[in-house]
């Protein structure tokens, strides 16, 4: 960085201003960083492991890293606590002991709705997100996104300072400019102000927005890349005005899903999953299972789980809904499409009628409003309202139809009627409907401001970018799916120079106070919360009595306009299963998280059914092991996109699915260039699916899957059977299964090593795990939770293609059908979470030449990293292949200062050349044991909870102590459907499985 161009670059005034307002450690940063020079960015870039070649050793990189890390020393120092608290601890605060985790309640916001979480912090460093048992949307569980969000928090690519047209600037200058705009607007010298926000449920924020609007006459628009317009409009259609449906799956004996995926999306899906699971537990004689009828377009988790499943194009779901309505005796006309068939509809209808008041029809988030309206109508007709589905006062604050709202905004912008545009969060330049051409309209606005956690595609087009504080860094509030409000409580001072949207809006209303005052005043002054109530709600993570009140659901007469005729190849748009609408594109943990059904990572693909693939001349019978897939070009109207093809059994024929969210260009080092951008195919008219698409093969592309073989090859891996089969034979065991040393069953008969048992008597707690395959919905929460808890490295697409992903727990997905042979058109889907089984006769141990993996007296198969020389013999000899090897220096990525803070101090960060694997979260076991020793109170069941178990929304994973007769794990282990995987090997794994019991209606014709 030569002297000359430095002068050229730095607006000295800005620089001085910046340094003037910089805090403490800022002074240690180099000028380069302050002025965000190219060099500096490149420094940051190079030194952050590129997703493709994450670990590549190179002297120049090393030097760059050294240099940059010195520059970033200021950041790494990090202001953990509010500055006013940074004083040497003469007497340490009571609640903070070094190395002891402290939990705080806060709220995670997804698609505008809040889910209560408890965040584990070490010395004020937030580290791991757990569900908040008191919060209605969580009940203690989480989903994969919430788990992985922690990496976004420490993402080095986050926006670090206020920029004006790419040059560093300051909050003062930014706010000053905006205030000037307000002045000019008032004087009429400038067009009106417009504010574009995502959907929000935050009462405080909404209040301040209204204040801002009234003060400045600004207009408030709302838009989300993947919105809930259809759901909202559907409700309005059915009941005339806005209400929010809240489902109660505990009460539902029959669930009909109209392309709904309430396991993985929509408000409250975590809670719904848990309630649902409570109706699927099989315990001995007691088999009171609910029954799920699912119609699905793009295969989703509910469909994978359903007892009876039919597939049809997304556009045909409405017909199914109409047919069903007709079948239960309301509405008239409408017959199910051939792909679904009458028998399905009739059977579903019969069972719905037989279970009035205890059944529920759930419309899919991505179905048009008519489907929602019909579903609600049926629920009311069936008397479910107030029982299995409750309609409450709208939870969203000042909700608007996103697409409509954005179109109006673009109109106004185009007409030059917007003088100042403030975009809070979101990324409309990337995800707006293509026909609106948002980017072009943006050019017509005089002053544009964008606030976001990342400087993204939209910030690039705006004059100003304002760094937004992440939810762990700022105060705020949000409401749950049922309206219950909870506080967003910061766990750490903003790492960078960020403010919250709330703080910004308040500041623009000339209220300079911080988030805490704003939120507290709102709740205590305007909502009359007492100080105690306030503190309690901070502690509990929910504000009592804030749930929305039920409203009387009175149906409006449904006059549905005829369904738009769709013809030709249909494209179904869906948010990506792991990175959502694209916000999480730069989150390595989510990028590498296998998509639940296809096990694809790092990419969005063209999903197509085998039949349609053949019709489209796609390479269907490609060699399963070969990562080379067809590269297809999909064209809708004038826009087209290229993506690799994945043959998806169970996908409806005549349609393909594309996931939006990929193809980011300004996501950051991880997200840039992954997959392809599908948003350009979406128009205001076709937000969820479009017809008349064309597809042609244009080449080959590599896809990184973590699983290539989809059938069980007739092996006894996932045991499953219908209720009737279960009643015949509760073990659900295929004939001729060998048992060698199975638990309980003649344990030592075949044991060659009785002497071994004498030499190494197990004593103390005996840890074991049971996984109920009947409950696993394959949502990936456990995998994500394990990544965060155990410092799992992200290896990048190339390494995943090489089979080197490091996940300690994986969810195997198998396709099968009733008679075992896999059916390609509409297969049964089975999930099997698989981590180290901690075999008592572990085959991995005797083959290790240096005793780096040995057994503990508590039955843990222990991996001693610093003893391992890396012969990989243990992995070769592991029949489950659950061991993971550091082929390269994968954890180099965590040397980055901000990512260092992401590491769990209780877990070793593994280096190059050593083997690793699931430890049953031994760090948690040890913590509990230490507590036991200190207090002298013996451990009780549930004192040790593994990360995967804690995250699991369905509680399919049970962990505990075998010596405790009363423990859950013992209880489930004594179920007859309990079985060991690969029993004939006689290695006696401590993890066993519960066979999956399904509840299909045999009457339904296939």
Partner 1 sequence: MAPKDPLQETFIEGSGNTYLSLQDSIGSLTLDQKRHNRFAWWFPFVVAFGMLQVMMLAITLLVFVGTGIWGINNPVGWGFAIINFVWWIGIGHAGTLISAILLLFRQQWRNSINRFAEAMTIFAVMCAGMFPLLHTGRPWVAYWLMPIGPNNLGMWPQFRSPLVWDVFAVTTYLTVSALFWFIGMIPDFATLRDKAKTFVPRFAFGMLSMGWRGASRHWHRYEQAYLILAGLSTPLVLSVHSIVSLDFAVSIMPGWHATIFPPYFVAGAVYAGFAMVLTLAIPVRKWYGLEHIITLKHIEWMAKIMLATGLFVFYGYICEAFYAFYSGNPFEKAMMLNRMTGPYWWSYAALIFCNGLAPQILWSKKIRQNLPILMVVCFIVSVGMWLERFVIVATTLHRDFLPSSWGMYFGTIWDWGLYLGTMGLFTFLMWLFLRFLPIINIFEVKELFYKMTGRHGAPKPAAAVAGTPEKVTADE
Partner 2 sequence: MSETTLEQPRLHGILAEFDDPDDLLEAAGKAHAAGYTRLEAYTPFPVHGLSEAIGFKEAKVPWLIFVSGVIGAFAGLGLQYYTAVIDYPMNVGGRPNFSWPSFFPVTFECTILFAAFGAVFGMLGMNGLPRPHHPIFGGKNFELASQDKFFLCVESDDPQFDPARVSEFLRGLGAQNVSEVEND
Residue from 82, 329, 756, 938 touching partner 2 (CB under 8 A): that is 756
889 binds, among partner 2, partner 1, none (CB under 5 to 8 A by kind): partner 1
* Span near partner 1 by CB under 8 A; candidates 170-178, 350-358, 548-556, 619-627: 619-627
Please, which residue, 66 or 851, has the CB nearer to partner 2? 851
Tell me whether strands 639-647 and 193-197 are parallel, antiparallel or unpaired. unpaired
Let me know: does 774 contact 784? Beta carbons within 8 Å: no
Tokens linked to 29: 């940063």
3-class SS letters over 867-894: HCCCCCHHHHCCCCCCCEECCCCHHHHH
- Dist. CA 681–CA 673, nearest whole Å: 18
Please, which residue, 527 or 804, has the CB nearer to partner 1? 804
Residue from 804, 818, 855, 900 touching partner 1 (CB under 8 A): that is 804
Question: 70 CB contacts (<8 Å, ≥6 apart)?
Answer: none
Residue from 250, 887, 963, 1001 touching partner 1 (CB under 8 A): that is 887
- Dist. CA 103–CA 106, nearest whole Å: 10
- Within residues 839-868, the interface with partner 2 by CB under 8 A covers 839-846, 848, 851, 854-857
Coil, helix or strand at residue 503:
helix
Identify the bridge partners of residue 120 per DSSP, sorted by sequence position.
103, 128
* Span near partner 1 by CB under 8 A; candidates 334-342, 390-398, 657-665, 878-886: 878-886
The dihedral region occupied by 564, where left means phi > 0, alpha psi between -120 and 50, and beta the remainder, is beta
Q: Is the dihedral of CA 388, 393, 396, 399 positive or negative?
A: positive
Residue 414 lies near partner 2 (rule: CB under 8 A): no
Residue from 810, 896, 973, 996 touching partner 1 (CB under 8 A): that is 810
Question: 435 CB contacts (<8 Å, ≥6 apart)?
Answer: 683, 684, 685
Let me know: does 638 contact 404? Beta carbons within 8 Å: no
Tokens linked to 772: 């109920």
Let me know: does 671 contact 585? Beta carbons within 8 Å: yes
Coil, helix or strand at residue 138:
coil
Question: 426 CB contacts (<8 Å, ≥6 apart)?
Answer: 196, 197, 198, 223, 224, 225, 452, 458
Query: CA-CA distances (angstroms) from residue 692 to 571, 607, 611?
Result: 8, 16, 18
757 binds, among partner 1, partner 2, none (CB under 5 to 8 A by kind): partner 2
* Span near partner 1 by CB under 8 A; candidates 9-17, 44-52, 148-156, 804-812: 804-812
Coil, helix or strand at residue 35:
coil
Cα atoms in the 13 Å half-sphere on the side-chain side of 841:
20
856 binds, among partner 2, partner 1, none (CB under 5 to 8 A by kind): partner 2
Residue 127 lies near partner 2 (rule: CB under 8 A): no
707 binds, among partner 1, partner 2, none (CB under 5 to 8 A by kind): partner 1
Q: How far is the CB of 812 from partner 2 (least distance, A)?
A: 25
- Within residues 959-988, the interface with partner 1 by CB under 8 A covers 982, 985, 987
Let me know: does 135 contact 113? Beta carbons within 8 Å: no
Residue from 781, 860, 888, 921 touching partner 1 (CB under 8 A): that is 888
Tell me whether strands 163-164 and 167-168 are parallel, antiparallel or unpaired. antiparallel
Instruction: Map residues 107-146 to x or -, x wherever contact with partner 1 holds by CB under 8 A.
Output: ----------------------------------------
Q: Is the dihedral of CA 611, 613, 618, 624 positive or negative?
A: negative
Question: 78 CB contacts (<8 Å, ≥6 apart)?
Answer: 125, 492, 495, 901
Residue 78 lies near partner 2 (rule: CB under 8 A): no
Q: What is the CA radius of gyration of the chain?
A: 28
* Span near partner 1 by CB under 8 A; candidates 53-61, 293-301, 439-447, 544-552: 53-61
Q: Which residue matches tokens 């408890």?
A: 118
Residue from 67, 637, 673, 870 touching partner 1 (CB under 8 A): that is 870
Residue 737 lies near partner 1 (rule: CB under 8 A): no
Q: How far is the CB of 674 from partner 1 (least distance, A)?
A: 21
Q: How many C-beta atoms lie closer than 10 Å to residue 914's C-beta?
A: 19
Instruction: Map residues 783-822 to x or -, x wherever contact with partner 2 holds by CB under 8 A.
Output: ----------------------------------------
Q: How far is the CB of 933 from partner 2 (least distance, A)?
A: 22
840 binds, among partner 1, partner 2, none (CB under 5 to 8 A by kind): partner 2
Question: 464 CB contacts (<8 Å, ≥6 apart)?
Answer: 162, 163, 164, 169, 174, 177, 447, 448, 449, 450
The count of residues interacting with partner 2 (CB under 8 A) is 21
Q: How far is the CB of 854 from partner 2 (least distance, A)?
A: 5
Residue from 129, 397, 915, 997 touching partner 1 (CB under 8 A): that is 915
Coil, helix or strand at residue 144:
helix
Q: Specify the DSSP element, H or E, that contains 619.
A: none
Choose among 99, 129, 123, 76: nearest CA to 906. Answer: 99
Please, which residue, 534 or 762, has the CB nearer to partner 2? 762
Residue 768 lies near partner 2 (rule: CB under 8 A): no
- Quickly list DSSP for 237-297: HHHSS--EEEE-TTS-SEEEEES--TTTSSTTHHHHHHHHHHTS--BTTB----EEEEEES
Q: How many C-beta atoms lie closer than 10 Å to residue 126's C-beta?
A: 23
Q: How far is the CB of 755 from partner 2 (least distance, A)?
A: 4
Residue 753 lies near partner 2 (rule: CB under 8 A): yes
Residue 757 lies near partner 2 (rule: CB under 8 A): yes
* Span near partner 1 by CB under 8 A; candidates 478-486, 517-525, 879-887, 924-932: 879-887
802 binds, among partner 1, partner 2, none (CB under 5 to 8 A by kind): partner 1
Residue from 704, 914, 947, 952 touching partner 1 (CB under 8 A): that is 914
855 binds, among partner 1, partner 2, none (CB under 5 to 8 A by kind): partner 2
Interhelix angle for 203-216 vs 171-187, to 10°? 50
Residue 443 lies near partner 1 (rule: CB under 8 A): no
Residue 638 lies near partner 2 (rule: CB under 8 A): no
Residue from 759, 849, 933, 936 touching partner 1 (CB under 8 A): that is 849
Residue 792 lies near partner 1 (rule: CB under 8 A): no
* Span near partner 2 by CB under 8 A; candidates 51-59, 435-443, 619-627, 755-763: 755-763
The count of residues interacting with partner 1 (CB under 8 A) is 62
Tell me whether strands 853-855 and 861-863 are parallel, antiparallel or unpaired. antiparallel
Residue from 207, 213, 864, 903 touching partner 1 (CB under 8 A): that is 864
Tokens linked to 573: 């748009």
Residue 707 lies near partner 1 (rule: CB under 8 A): yes
Please, which residue, 346 or 871, has the CB nearer to partner 2? 871
Residue from 79, 96, 408, 760 touching partner 2 (CB under 8 A): that is 760
Residue 868 lies near partner 1 (rule: CB under 8 A): yes
The residues binding partner 2 (CB under 8 A) are 753, 755-760, 839-846, 848, 851, 854-857
The residues binding partner 1 (CB under 8 A) are 55-57, 623, 625-626, 707-715, 717, 799, 802-804, 810, 812-814, 832, 834, 843, 846-851, 864, 866-873, 875-877, 879-881, 883-889, 912-915, 982, 985, 987
């Amino acid at each position: 960085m030569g002297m000359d161009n430095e002068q050229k670059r730095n607006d000295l005034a800005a620089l001085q201003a910046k340094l003037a307002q910089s805090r403490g450690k800022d002074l240690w940063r180099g000028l380069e960083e302050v002025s965000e020079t190219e060099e500096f960015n490149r420094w940051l870039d190079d030194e952050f492991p590129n997703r493709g070649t994450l670990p590549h050793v190179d002297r120049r990189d090393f030097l760059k890293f050294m240099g940059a890390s010195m520059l970033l020393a200021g950041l790494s120092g990090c202001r953990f606590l509010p500055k006013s608290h940074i004083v040497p601890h003469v007497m340490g605060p009571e609640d903070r002991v070094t190395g002891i985790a402290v939990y705080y309640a806060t709220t995670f916001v997804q698609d505008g709705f809040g889910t209560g979480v408890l965040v584990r912090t070490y010395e004020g460093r937030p580290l791991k997100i757990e569900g908040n048992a008191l919060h209605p949307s969580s009940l203690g569980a989480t989903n994969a996104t919430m788990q992985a969000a922690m990496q976004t928090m420490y993402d080095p690519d986050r926006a670090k300072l206020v920029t004006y047209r790419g040059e560093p600037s300051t909050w003062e200058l930014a706010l000053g400019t905006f205030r000037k705009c307000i002045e000019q607007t008032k004087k009429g010298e400038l067009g009106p102000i417009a504010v574009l926000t995502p959907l929000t449920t935050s009462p405080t924020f909404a209040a301040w927005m209204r204040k801002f609007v009234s003060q400045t006459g600004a207009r408030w628009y709302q838009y989300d890349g993947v919105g809930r317009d259809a759901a909202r409009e559907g409700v309005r259609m059915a009941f005339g005005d806005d209400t929010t449906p809240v489902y109660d799956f505990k009460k539902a004996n029959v669930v009909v899903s109209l392309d709904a995926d309430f396991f993985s999306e929509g408000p409250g899906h975590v809670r719904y999953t848990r309630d649902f699971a409570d109706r699927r537990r099989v315990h001995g004689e007691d088999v009171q299972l609910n029954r799920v009828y699912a119609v699905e377009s793009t295969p989703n988790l509910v469909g994978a789980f359903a007892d009876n499943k039919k597939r049809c194009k997304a556009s045909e779901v409405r017909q199914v809904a109409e047919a069903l309505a007709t079948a239960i005796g309301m509405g008239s006309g409408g017959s199910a499409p051939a792909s679904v068939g009458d028998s399905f509809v009739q059977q579903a209808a019969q069972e719905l009628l037989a279970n009035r008041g205890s059944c529920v029809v759930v419309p899919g988030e991505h179905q048009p409003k008519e489907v929602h309206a019909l579903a609600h109508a049926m629920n009311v007709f069936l008397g479910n309202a107030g029982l299995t589905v409750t309609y409450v006062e709208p939870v969203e604050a000042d909700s608007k139809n996103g697409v409509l709202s954005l179109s109006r905004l673009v109109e106004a912008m185009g007409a030059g009627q917007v003088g100042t545009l403030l975009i809070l969060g979101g990324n409309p330049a990337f995800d707006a409907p293509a026909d609106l051409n948002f980017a072009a309209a943006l050019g017509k606005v005089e002053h544009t401001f964008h606030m976001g956690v990342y400087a993204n595609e939209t910030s690039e087009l705006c004059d100003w970018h304002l760094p937004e504080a992440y939810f762990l860094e700022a105060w705020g509030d949000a409401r749950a799916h049922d309206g219950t409000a909870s506080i967003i409580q910061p766990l750490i001072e903003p790492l960078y120079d960020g403010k919250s949207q709330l703080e910004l809006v308040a500041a623009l209303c000339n209220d300079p106070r911080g988030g805490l005052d704003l939120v507290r005043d709102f709740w205590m002054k305007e909502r009359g919360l007492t100080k105690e109530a306030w503190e309690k709600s901070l502690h509990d993570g929910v504000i009592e009595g804030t749930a929305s009140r039920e409203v009387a659901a009175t149906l409006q007469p449904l006059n549905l306009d005829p369904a738009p005729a769709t013809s030709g190849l249909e494209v179904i748009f869906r948010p990506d299963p792991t990175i959502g609408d694209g916000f999480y594109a730069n989150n390595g943990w989510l990028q590498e998280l296998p998509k639940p059904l296809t096990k694809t990572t790092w990419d969005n693909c063209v999903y197509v059914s085998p039949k349609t693939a053949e019709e489209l001349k796609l390479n269907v019978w490609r060699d399963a092991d070969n990562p080379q897939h067809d590269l297809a070009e999909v064209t809708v109207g004038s826009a087209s996109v290229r993506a690799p093809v994945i043959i998806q059994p169970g996908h409806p024929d005549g349609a393909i699915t594309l996931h939006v969210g990929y193809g980011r260009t300004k996501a950051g080092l991880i997200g840039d260039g992954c997959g392809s951008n599908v948003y350009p195919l979406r128009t205001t008219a076709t937000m969820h699916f479009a017809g008349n698409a064309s597809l042609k093969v244009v080449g080959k592309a590599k896809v990184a899957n973590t699983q290539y073989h989809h059938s069980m090859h007739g092996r006894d891996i996932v045991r499953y059977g219908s209720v009737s089969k279960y009643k015949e034979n509760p073990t659900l065991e295929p004939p001729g299964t060998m048992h060698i040393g199975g638990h309980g069953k003649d344990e030592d008969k075949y044991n060659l090593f009785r002497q071994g048992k004498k030499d190494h008597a197990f004593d103390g707690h005996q840890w074991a795990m049971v996984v109920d395959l009947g409950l696993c919905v394959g949502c990936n929460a456990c995998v994500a939770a394990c990544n965060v808890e155990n410092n799992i490295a992200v290896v990048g697409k190339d390494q995943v293609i090489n089979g080197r992903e490091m996940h300690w727990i994986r969810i195997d997905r198998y396709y099968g059908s009733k008679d075992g042979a896999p059916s390609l058109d509409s297969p049964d889907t089975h999930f099997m979470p698989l981590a180290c089984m901690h075999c008592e006769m572990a085959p991995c141990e005797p083959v290790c030449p240096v005793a780096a993996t040995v057994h503990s007296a508590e039955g843990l198969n222990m991996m001693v990293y610093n003893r391992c020389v890396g012969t990989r013999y243990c992995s070769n000899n592991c029949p489950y292949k659950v061991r993971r090897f550091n082929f390269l220096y994968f954890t180099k990525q965590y040397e980055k200062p901000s990512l260092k803070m992401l590491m769990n101090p209780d877990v070793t960060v593994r280096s190059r050349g050593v083997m690793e694997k699931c430890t049953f979260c031994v760090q948690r076991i040890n913590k509990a044991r230490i507590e036991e020793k200190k207090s002298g109170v013996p451990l009780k069941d549930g004192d040790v909870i593994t990360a995967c178990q804690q995250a699991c929304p369905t509680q399919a994973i049970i962990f505990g102590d075998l010596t405790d007769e009363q423990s859950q794990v013992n209880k489930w282990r004594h179920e007859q459907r309990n079985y060991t995987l690969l029993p004939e090997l006689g290695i006696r794994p401590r993890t066993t499985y519960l066979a999956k019991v399904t509840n299909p209606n045999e009457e339904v014709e296939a």
